[in-house]
Amino acid sequence: EEVQQEEQGITGVIEDNKNGNVVNATVKAAFVSLVRNEDLAEIVKTVTNLEERFNGKFHYPYVFLNNEPFSDPFKEAIREVVSSDVKFGLIPREHWSFPEWIDQERAAEVRATADYIYGDSESYRHMCRYESGFFWRHELMEKYDYYWRVEPSTKLHCDVNYDVFQWMQDNNKVYGFTVSIKEFESTIKTLWKTTMNFTKEYPEYLAENNMLDYISNDHGETYNLCHFWSNFEVASLNFWRSEAYRKYFEHLDKAGGFFYERWGDAPVHSIAAALFLPSEQVHYFPEIGYFHHPFNNCPLDQDIWHKNKCTCSRMLDFSFQGYSCTKEYYDFKKMKKPDGWEMFRS
């Protein structure tokens, strides 16, 4: 096969034996979706849209993960709408349960009194801990270098006409996002303090040219709550597999905040990316129109909006609204903000 590729001069492009699609074999990448059987209708809509907007051209495989076995109707319905290989994985019990050092009575007490969103939910906490510390360890993910996270009920607003994974690899990017936002402070009361204890112990993990001043307005004293919304991520699995991140996750997990508070995987991923990666390896995708309730990433650039057949309203773009952190991201990176951004600030 390799010889044939060279002859054709299209290195890395091979036939996918299963369905005859041409797939990119130089980038080891997959979509990954953590989802429940009962989300079938929503995930089918989302995947159908993803195929229309992107994957019908590229045929990257999918990995679906669940803490319960996927039902046969779920698997059949998914296979019907994708243009590529699909795997369905069961999450091992150890990755979706209380670690032995957690005081479950204390955790239950927190759930009974917490007054923030999902504050009463045990499963949401397992989910956040799983997305922080375990999805990248699932055996079905082992052969991949990059992933694109897909959640039910999300949508791409525009065509994505280039190979995003190839672009990540060629440009040495590690973490890509579409929406940034401020976290509810009450869900992460001790996350920053716990993080700073970690960086004091392991200063060697802090990247030179990191993004500390994007997530802290006082050079590390406090967290400004800015994070990348992790329901969409295109990122490197090897970053989560790195010693720095593994140790960081272990440190957080031991501190118990996934259960005694309600630490989200979004601030955990974002803080790690901001501290352990050089700024150049973090990327914002303005052209990937995206929706997850209740916010949109809609390209403000008119040429992009037309060329990529976007169907979103630019007036509803979240990027430069006050509760987003994307303006701060542009300022931090000294990037030119798109024309019209000021209309979102009165």
* CA nearest to 135, candidates 115, 144, 109, 106: 144
Span from 109-117, 141-149, 223-231, 317-325 in contact with Mn ion (CB under 5 A): 223-231
Contact call for residue 231 and Mn ion (CB under 5 A): yes
Provide the 10 A C-beta neighbour count for residue 322: 9
Q: CA–CA separation, 106 vs 114, rounded Å?
A: 12
Span from 31-39, 50-58, 98-106, 180-188 in contact with ligand GDP (CB under 6 A): 31-39
Least distance from ligand GDP to the Cβ atom of residue 219, Å: 30
Contact call for residue 36 and ligand GDP (CB under 6 A): yes
Task: Give 229's contacts (C-beta < 8 A, 6+ positions apart).
Answer: 177, 178, 179, 180, 181, 266, 292, 295
Strand partners, 282: 175
Contact call for residue 326 and Mn ion (CB under 5 A): no
Span from 5-13, 187-195, 224-232, 267-275 in contact with Mn ion (CB under 5 A): 224-232
Output the CA–CA distances (angstroms, integers) from residue 142 to 64, 74, 241, in the order listed: 14, 23, 10
Q: CA–CA separation, 123 vs 7, rounded Å?
A: 52
Q: How many residues bind ligand GDP (CB under 6 A)?
A: 11
Give which of ligand GDP, Mn ion, none residue 224 binds (C-beta under 5 to 8 Å, depending on kind): none
| Interface with ligand GDP (CB under 6 A), residue from 199, 231, 270, 296 | 231
Q: What is the dihedral of CA 180, 216, 131, 189, to 10 degrees?
A: -110
Q: Which is nearer to Mn ion, 22 or 41 (CB)?
A: 41
Q: Which of 51, 131, 183, 233 is catalytic?
A: 233
Contact call for residue 132 and Mn ion (CB under 5 A): no
Is 233 tagged catalytic? yes
Give which of ligand GDP, Mn ion, none residue 67 binds (C-beta under 5 to 8 Å, depending on kind): ligand GDP
Span from 34-42, 75-83, 201-209, 282-290 in contact with ligand GDP (CB under 6 A): 34-42
Binding residues for Mn ion (CB under 5 A): 151, 231
Binding residues for ligand GDP (CB under 6 A): 34-36, 39, 66-67, 123, 127, 151-152, 231
